[in-house]
Amino acid sequence: MSAPLRLLAAGAAAPQSAVFATASAKLTAKEVFGRCHLGGDPALIGNRSVVVATRSQASAALALLSLDGVARRLVLVPPGLGTAALEQVMARAEAEVVVCERESWQPLFSSWPCLTVDPQGCAEAAAPQGGLATEWVLLTSGTTGVPKLVVHRLATLTGAMASRAASPPAIWGTFYDIRRYGGLQAFLRAILGGGPLVLPDPEETPEEFLTRASELGLDYLSGTPSHWRRALMGRALAGLRPRCVRLSGEIADQVLLDRVRERFDKARIVHAFASTEAGVAFEVTDGHEGFPANVLENTGTPVELKVKDGTLRIRSPRTALRILGTDEPVADPDGFVDTRDIVERRGARCYFAGRRDGIINSGGNKVHPEEIEALLNGHPRVEMSRARARKNPILGAIIEADVVLRSADGAPPQSPLEEELLRFCAATLPVYKRPTKIRVVPSLSVSAAGKLERQGA
């Protein structure tokens, strides 16, 4: 793909059709593509490294359309990134220009020229200049707390997308923020397919967003398993009739897949394997957790997978190109990206056991918190759960778990339920994997990236 995103997207959309629907505004193709949305001197962005630090997703989307093909590099700053981290990101990205809304400007930006983005648009659009292969930089949480800056190009980001758009164009919604890999996939699929993307406003709650999305009639809705568990707790899904439901970014266990199936009996339910570094690798549509082992033997597809030292490795044209500001390579010398997701093969199927970095060592035994969570989530009274290590002078660490009860459940006395859940775990798990304590909590936090928060757990 060589044309800039703006041209590709403008070609896909009918002039009067909506491109973005936020709570406050619906922007048609004419408004999005017929106007310039960057205030200030547009010549500033040509061949520069531009940091997109907007508050709203709609502003970010408009900035992306203006920058691809024109800027040398665009850096997508996700919401909630603190000032200290943002400063490090700007240094590593060798930022030359900042794009933000007038109201989201902050003193940190005073050393850089700043362009403001205005969803209402300020002038007739000039034809996009240049056809640069702009670097798209996405941030992921690094192991050291400093975000990793992962470099893609439009071609690697759109590698998994069908070249022929659906007719009529599909309406997309996502629980992800479009400045994260999963959300960016939804954004690009929508905009290249000529269909509207329904975006949450920063002040909208997930319930309000879902209610509005139901009224607009979504065809596709994507999010992480944690996003979906949280949505299933509320009532706002009742009005939705999506044609396709997508889960990615975390392990989709059987209990969750069955609950999604129960709620959306007519929808195609897809759980996809994708990560910011490895890109979209494959989709599973049979409704079962894990994936068919023959995916590992796939030849003749652009995506090659293998398991080495227990973790899934991916070589594909959709993987990231490099990591900015470090010598750390994205892939090994053969071009395979280590996803650090541990895969276990049982017969003709492979299952995700957890993250290499998330293993708990309890008395020399290795325990994946995800295995315990998947079991607890299958208990009829449990909505979601988190297993975590607790430091212990005898065994190094012991395992404790927190559970959120299903909404229909009243507030039960703690002890009988804890006993019941401990027995439930003991019936399946070997002694060293069993939680030693289970707490009922009102909620579990989900990170800005839509994943169960494990930091400090």
Partner 1 sequence: MRVRDAVFTQFREVARQQDRPLSELGDSLPLADSGLDSLCLAIIVARLEDTLGVDPFATSDDIPTTIGDFVALYERALA
Using the minimum distance from each CB to partner 1, give the nearer residue, 297 or 419: 419
Total number of residues shown for the chain? 457
Using the minimum distance from each CB to partner 1, give the nearer residue, 304 or 418: 418
Out of 436, 447, 451, 454, point to the residue binding partner 1 (CB under 8 A): 436
- Residue 457 C-beta: closest distance to partner 1, Å: 15
Place of tokens 């993987």: 319
Distance CA 118, CA 31 (A): 12
Distance CA 206, CA 318 (A): 30
**Residue 115: is it exposed, middle or buried by C-beta count within 10 angstroms (0-12/13-18/19+)?**
buried
Using the minimum distance from each CB to partner 1, give the nearer residue, 268 or 437: 437
Question: Which span sits near partner 1 by CB under 8 A: 77-85, 206-214, 245-253, 432-440?
Answer: 432-440
Distance CA 268, CA 239 (A): 17
Out of 335, 432, 447, 454, point to the residue binding partner 1 (CB under 8 A): 432
Residue 231: count other Cβ atoms within 10 Å of its Cβ.
21
- Residue 397 C-beta: closest distance to partner 1, Å: 9
Q: Residue type for 220, please?
A: Y
Query: What letter would DSSP give residue 260?
Result: H
For position 416 contacting partner 1 by CB under 8 A, the verdict is: no
For position 457 contacting partner 1 by CB under 8 A, the verdict is: no
- Residue 393 C-beta: closest distance to partner 1, Å: 3
User: In whole angstroms, how far apart are CA 69 and each of 23, 112, 209, 276?
Assistant: 29, 21, 32, 21
Out of 44, 422, 448, 457, point to the residue binding partner 1 (CB under 8 A): 422
- Residue 366 C-beta: closest distance to partner 1, Å: 15
Three-state secondary structure call for residue 85: helix
Using the minimum distance from each CB to partner 1, give the nearer residue, 58 or 421: 421
Contact pattern for partner 1 over residues 29 through 58, marking x by CB under 8 A:
------------------------------
| Vertex 378: Cα angle to 376 and 381 (nearest 5) | 80
Distance CA 440, CA 417 (A): 9
For position 441 contacting partner 1 by CB under 8 A, the verdict is: no
Closest residue by Cα to residue 9 from 50, 69, 55, 59 = 69
Contact pattern for partner 1 over residues 315 through 344, marking x by CB under 8 A:
------------------------------
- Residue 416 C-beta: closest distance to partner 1, Å: 13
For position 431 contacting partner 1 by CB under 8 A, the verdict is: yes
DSSP annotation string for 310-357 = TEEEEE-TTS--EETTS---SS-TTS-EEEEEEEEEETTEEEEEEEGG
Query: What letter would DSSP give residue 125?
Result: P
- Residue 361 C-beta: closest distance to partner 1, Å: 13
Closest residue by Cα to residue 270 from 211, 223, 209 = 223
Using the minimum distance from each CB to partner 1, give the nearer residue, 331 or 425: 425
Task: Report the site for partner 1 in 352-411 (rule: CB under 8 A).
Answer: 363, 390, 392-395, 398, 400
Closest residue by Cα to residue 156 from 113, 197, 185, 120 = 185
- Residue 413 C-beta: closest distance to partner 1, Å: 17
Using the minimum distance from each CB to partner 1, give the nearer residue, 161 or 422: 422
For position 430 contacting partner 1 by CB under 8 A, the verdict is: no
Using the minimum distance from each CB to partner 1, give the nearer residue, 398 or 446: 398
- Residue 442 C-beta: closest distance to partner 1, Å: 19
| Interface with partner 1 (CB under 8 A) | 363, 390, 392-395, 398, 400, 419, 422, 431-432, 436-437
